[in-house]
Structures are given as C-alpha cells and as structure tokens.
Structure 1
C-alpha cells in the first residue's frame, strides 16, 4: 500500500506561482482533479472547480456513500428537532448539473509518483491535482476497552447516519432513572462544541421521556468550547441532570467495559445504561496512505490548503492541520472555496484571490435556545490565523437566542445547497 513517493519540500503556494497553468502529464487533454471525500470540504471543492472552470477541468469525486449524512445537526436529531432524512443528501445534482464524475467506491491507495488513486474496485484514477477531504478516523486504543468493533454496544455517533440512529434507539430504551455516560474526546477533534450540544439534546430528550435519568460526562479537557453558555443552559433547562467530571477529578483516566456496560473513571466504576464513547481522532486513513500526515493530521499551507509534503495534494476540513480554525463543516466549506480557486488557477491560469476564511459554530441547548461562536481568518506563511471573533453571551434575551437558532437553520439550508448544488 505504501508505494514510493517523492517528498517535494512542502513549499507554500503563492499567488505568483499559481498564476501560470501547471504542466500536465503528456497524453491527455483537460487537466484532471480527483477529490476524495464527499462532505463539506470535498463536495464543495468539486462543485466550485467544475462550475467555475466551465468544463475546462475534468473533476472526479470519490465517495463511498450514496447518501451523505451531515454530522452537524445530527445532535438535533437526537433531541427531536430534526428527522434523519433531513440530514441525508445525494450527489445527483453534482453529476447532472455540473458534469462531475461521481464514483461511489473506497479510495484505498495513492501513488504520488504516478499521480494515481486506486479504488477498492480496482480502478486507477490519474490526477493532476488531488484533493483529500476524508474527515476523521479514530486513534487506536484512545479509550482502553473500546475500539470500533465495540461501536454497536457503545456508539461513537461521530460519523452521522446509522450510528446516530443507534444511539437514539439506545436512549429510547433506557430504564427509568438510568444513566447516560459520555466519554468526551481530547483536543483537537471534530466540531468542538459537538459533544456538549449532544449532551444538551440528550438531556432534552430525556427530560421529556425519562425525567429522572442522569447524564455523566467523563472529560479529559480542562475546558471546552462555549462552556459558560452550555453550563448556564444546563442549569436553566436541566437542573440536577448533568454531571461533568474533568481531569482534576479523573476525567482523563477513563476506561470502559462494553460487555459489562461500565465506565471506570480514575478507579471509580460506574454502571451505566447507555455509553457514548467519542475517542481521540485523526485524519481519515487515505491521508495516511497518501503519506501526507504527521501520524495524526495532515499539515497544509494556508494559502491554498496544499500539503506541506506535496504541492499537488490538497487536504481540507477535519483532516487538515492548518492552524487556528476549528474542525467544523463551516470551516471545511470555507477552506474548499480557497482551495478550489487556487487549484483552478494552477490548472487554467485563472485569477487567484487572496485566501480568506470564516467559521461559525451554532449549538442548540433547548427549544429556541441557540448559541454561536465564530471568527474570521487569514492565511499567513505559518498557518491559518484568527483575525477576530465573536461568541454568544450568557444571560442573553430569549429573543436573541431564538434568532440565533433560526439563523442556524438558514445556514444549514445554505451550506447543503452550496455543497450539493441543490
């Protein structure tokens, strides 16, 4: 699997370098871009390259799932605010309206010398530029006692779809007064507010269906995104239901026993009814197979999201080690547009604009109680650097919180249209 690869120095792409078309391999016509991963980064990049090049670039999108379920908003499914069908999106418009060659298969190898991607079905796809947006995988043995073979007993539900449905079903079957436990992940990880929005949505469900149930969070981190907002909301909406055990009280020394359905927190064994294990994360496996990771994440140049190992490979979203941006769907979508502009410029000589990035993460705590955090960013030689930011405030008026939630609904509709061309 790990074929020969040339190490090309990791030089950051600049506007001047991108102004001239790349020299393509002899023997084919239009330049070829292969995108691996059809989520917020990959689908967006594929669409923008195909749309903005007006057919001048052949774009192939490789994604194993025929229906892509967004991880963002999947917590709202747990809370009863969304249906699973609302979170599923298909690729027909990308193929029909934008001429993208969509292949539903697994990418299993990258040969950077030959510039080919090998698929599980045996096809080898040549490329001039390769964009990797594979999302996350989990670090082996991050939580003692748990691995992916245990995910049906203790689901992670951090890749949306069947895992999310399983977790909701388990919550629905909890005994009266039972305990839901979450093993929270260490930094960095996908969607920093995600575990705590999940706690909020599980509490919302249990408050209605099982009001004497308890929620226990074992957390290895000193603090977490929007902590004051979540803790204020938990006290307001779910008093006495939620207990968080941080590192000072053993939250970083946790193991589980799925067969016994127990969680050991620094030697104290808790019997639980449902356990959501969210392990430490790393870049999706194809980034490792391509040889562009540092063992966990893929370092990139901020100007164009190109790999620091190979300028013809770009890495987006959760898999990228890029600097200050959080690993979120909004971030991946923003990075994809910068990358698409740079790749199109490199392959066709079109204008490349300075890289600018933005992110907002919304979270729902209870009915119409929405909060958000966000920032704008710029590319520096070292990283994507934060320029300024904003966050919801504690004690906000209920009308502001309702408007924030409604804003998140509009954003969701907008981003999926932006990704899939619906």
Structure 2
C-alpha cells in the first residue's frame, strides 16, 4: 500500500482502537507518567490523553523542548533535508491534549512506592508508568571510545548536535581523505541505519570530494537490506566503499581518537573522519527501574508492552526486548498505541482489542533511489512474531525506486503528526 500523510494516519486505528469509558464522578484521575519524549513515549502520552478524553492525568518527563528524529537524520547528512525538518516540539501535546511536560531527567524509579524521582529531587506518583528512553551505549564495546570522545569521533546515533557535527566533519574532509564507520553489533537501533548513512556520506563525497574513500568496519556477517545496498553502492559509488567484515578482522577493532586511527585486527589505519556506532542497550532509566535483564534490554509482554518485571510499568520502542520487530521509529509508534490502549483499558474500563503491530523501514541510497523493508506482526505469549513481510528487490526500475522514496516522505509527515499532534 502506498503511504502518504493521510494514509498513514488512517491506518492507525487498527492498532490503537478503544472504546473509552468516563471516569467516576468525584474520583481522582488516575495518573500516568511517561519517561521519554520520542516516537514511543510521545505517541503513548498523546494517545492516552486523547482517547481517554481527559479522564487520565498524563505527565511527560522529557528534559528537551525540541525532539530531533533519528529517523531521516541520515538524509540531513546527505543534503536531502535541512536540520530544522527533523525538529519537533511538544506544544500540541501540552496545549491540545492537556499533557503536563516535566522538563527534567528522570533519575530514579521506586516501583514499590510507584514514584518517579526527577533530577532536581521532585517525585511524581503514578498508577501506570511508561518508560521509553530509547538507547544508551555499552561501555567499552569499542576499545578506545567512550562518550568523552564523541566530539572527536561522533556516534550521531542520537539525533541533534552529534548529527550536525558528523555532517560538518564529512564536508570538511581533505581531498582524497578517508571516512571510517565502526558499525554496531546486533541488536541496535534502526538495522539499515548505518548502511543508509554510508550511502549518504558517499553521496556527499561523490559530489564534493570524489577521490575520497569510505571504510566500513562491520562486526556482523550480514546486515539489513544488504543486497540492495551493495547493488546501489556498485551502481552509484563504484570503488569508493570498502567493507571489512568479521572474517577480515572487524570483530577486533580499537580506535585512537586523539591520533585519528582505527586499529583493525592489529593493523593501523589513519582516517580523517570516524563515525563510531557502539553496541547498544536500553536507556539507563530502564535499568535503574529494574526492568532490564542481562541483555541490557527490557523484556515485555507482547500482548500489552507491559514489562515482564512489573505489570504496572510499560516499555516500548528501542529499549524493549519484544521479539521480531526491529528497533525503529515506526515500531516504537506502533507499540506505543498498543500500550496506550491497554493502559486506558486498565485505568478507565475501556475495551481493549488484540494487539497488532506493523513496521516499515525506508532507506535512501542515492537521489530518488529509495528501498524499503517491513512486516506485520501479531502477539504470541512468547514474543511479537512476524506474520507477513516484504522487501524491495534488486534490479527495480528507477520509477519504482523514486516512488518508494516519495512514499517515505509521506510516511515521515504522517508519523511525526501522529507522534506530536
């Protein structure tokens, strides 16, 4: 199905349908606290407030006034979007839906007392808690790199100033210089994301610095849309991109930011720009709340997105361990609507429907050369399970690839309207 803004929003009712019941007169409103204002958290907050018709008190804990989407940030690096197009405010959530925006970091969760502590010491009581903190990085996963080195070797995997820094570094590369990416191990945010980024960097260098080289150091044997990316790189950027996989030492990598060196299985490579995307885990507040396991992610009930550790705490999006869905903005938005439906049902007596989920990930390889992968999912007792999937094919004609790219633009407009109002 071709998606545009209206078409995307029109598909949302299937995963978030609810029949609301009014709160009992004289009874205090039930309280929901949502930690994290991204695709999962903001969607969940909006749907709870909107579809409960004010019967539930919703507080969004998010220190920023503006959220920059990580999805589509690669297109900014490639010069296909401006930075402001990634920026979204919370004004409609607070003004139109009555959501309280607590501009602070959550520093702790007391699940026994059902309270969230903010960085300034204030506490927020809740009847249900939503934790949607996105990702944090695994310390030491790339020897030589930590967050203190991100101004030299940026990760740019949380959108904002890091994205701007990486773009500026690419554009300032010396003639014939080397761009290096250290790709992450599974699982991580947006499986095709590193490879779309390679494509966008190649697009910039092809225009500005055509003798430059790209070195992709990848610890994985295979990756999302691999055949499509490799076909596109050969077509558009022949001879520019060199991928080193685990068989050639990519599982043994060290970086030396101050010297701008990457050490691959003992062999030193001098580079001009290095994008280090480390191994990932759930945002730190999920671990602080005690809802993560030894993997660093938060296991959830596939039917509701409530955590396995506590039925009053919900986790969605990148931070969740839920089964077959990739960690993506589309997934987070889809999961958030299921969580919102179940939270409303529990707190207001409204009807909940069986959970259904969907996801599509688009990637741009070069101008008007868009590809996609996606699936529909259902909840089982064990996991969210894929029931039907699709992927672009190699050898597609230019008109289809252009249509796929244009579809992604419609989706972005639709999903950001659905998240932020």
Question: Shorter-chain TM-score: which interval?
Answer: over 0.9
Change (3 A) 1:19 1:116: farther
Give, in whole Å, the separation in 2 of the partners of 1:368 and 1:121: 48
Give the match's secondary structure for 1:159: coil
Give, in whole Å, the separation in 2 of the partners of 1:191 and 1:94: 26
Give, in whole Å, the separation in 2 of the partners of 1:63 and 1:70: 14
Q: Decide whether the 8 Å contact of 1:108 with 1:120 is kept in 2.
A: yes
1:378 has 2:378 as partner = yes
Give the match's secondary structure for 1:98: coil
1:123 deviates by: 1.1
How many residues matched?
A: 401
1:19 deviates by: 11
2:96 is matched with which residue? Answer: 97
1:325 is matched with which residue? Answer: 325
1:386 deviates by: 0.5
Q: Decide whether the 8 Å contact of 1:20 with 1:346 is kept in 2.
A: no
Alpha-carbon deviations, 1:14-51, whole Å to 9, x = none?
xxxx9999x99xx9701000000000000000000000
1:313 is matched with which residue? Answer: 313
Alpha-carbon deviations, 1:287-307, whole Å to 9, x = none?
000000004000000000000
Give, in whole Å, the separation in 1 of the partners of 2:157 and 2:27: 41
1:55 is matched with which residue? Answer: 54
Give, in whole Å, the separation in 1 of the partners of 2:229 and 2:250: 18
Give, in whole Å, the separation in 2 of the partners of 1:420 and 1:28: 29
Q: How does 1:31-70 map to 2 (within 5 A)?
A: 31-70=30-69
Q: How does 1:381-420 map to 2 (within 5 A)?
A: 381-420=381-420
Give, in whole Å, the separation in 2 of the partners of 1:237 and 1:111: 53
Give, in whole Å, the separation in 1 of the partners of 2:46 and 2:353: 18
Give, in whole Å, the separation in 1 of the partners of 2:199 and 2:120: 42
Output the aligned Cα RMSD.
1.6
Mind listing any 5+ residue stretches in structure 2 that lack a counterpart? 1-17
Q: How does 1:172-183 map to 2 (within 5 A)?
A: 172-183=171-182
Q: How does 1:162-201 map to 2 (within 5 A)?
A: 162-201=161-200
Give, in whole Å, the separation in 2 of the partners of 1:173 and 1:44: 37
1:10 is matched with which residue? Answer: none
1:103 deviates by: 1.2
Give, in whole Å, the separation in 2 of the partners of 1:203 and 1:44: 34
Q: Decide whether the 8 Å contact of 1:292 with 1:299 is kept in 2.
A: yes
Q: Decide whether the 8 Å contact of 2:202 with 2:240 is kept in 1.
A: yes
Give the match's secondary structure for 2:291: coil
Give, in whole Å, the separation in 1 of the partners of 2:309 and 2:28: 27
Give, in whole Å, the separation in 2 of the partners of 1:104 and 1:177: 45
1:348 is matched with which residue? Answer: 348
The two structures have a TM-score, normalised by structure 2, of 0.94
1:415 deviates by: 0.4
Give the match's secondary structure for 2:198: helix
Q: Decide whether the 8 Å contact of 1:177 with 1:214 is kept in 2.
A: yes
Alpha-carbon deviations, 1:185-237, whole Å to 9, x = none?
00000000000000000000010110000000110000000000000000000
Q: How does 1:90-239 map to 2 (within 5 A)?
A: 90-239=89-238
Give, in whole Å, the separation in 1 of the partners of 2:306 and 2:49: 19
2:15 is matched with which residue? Answer: none
Q: Decide whether the 8 Å contact of 2:20 with 2:51 is kept in 1.
A: no
Q: Decide whether the 8 Å contact of 2:195 with 2:229 is kept in 1.
A: yes
1:268 deviates by: 1.1
Alpha-carbon deviations, 1:102-127, whole Å to 9, x = none?
11110000000100000012210000
Alpha-carbon deviations, 1:108-159, whole Å to 9, x = none?
0000010000001221000000000000000000000000000000000000
1:73 deviates by: 0.3
Mind listing any 5+ residue stretches in structure 1 that lack a counterpart? 1-17
Q: Decide whether the 8 Å contact of 1:48 with 1:340 is kept in 2.
A: yes
1:173 deviates by: 1.1
1:352 deviates by: 0.1
1:172 deviates by: 1.2
1:164 deviates by: 0.3
Give, in whole Å, the separation in 1 of the partners of 2:293 and 2:330: 24
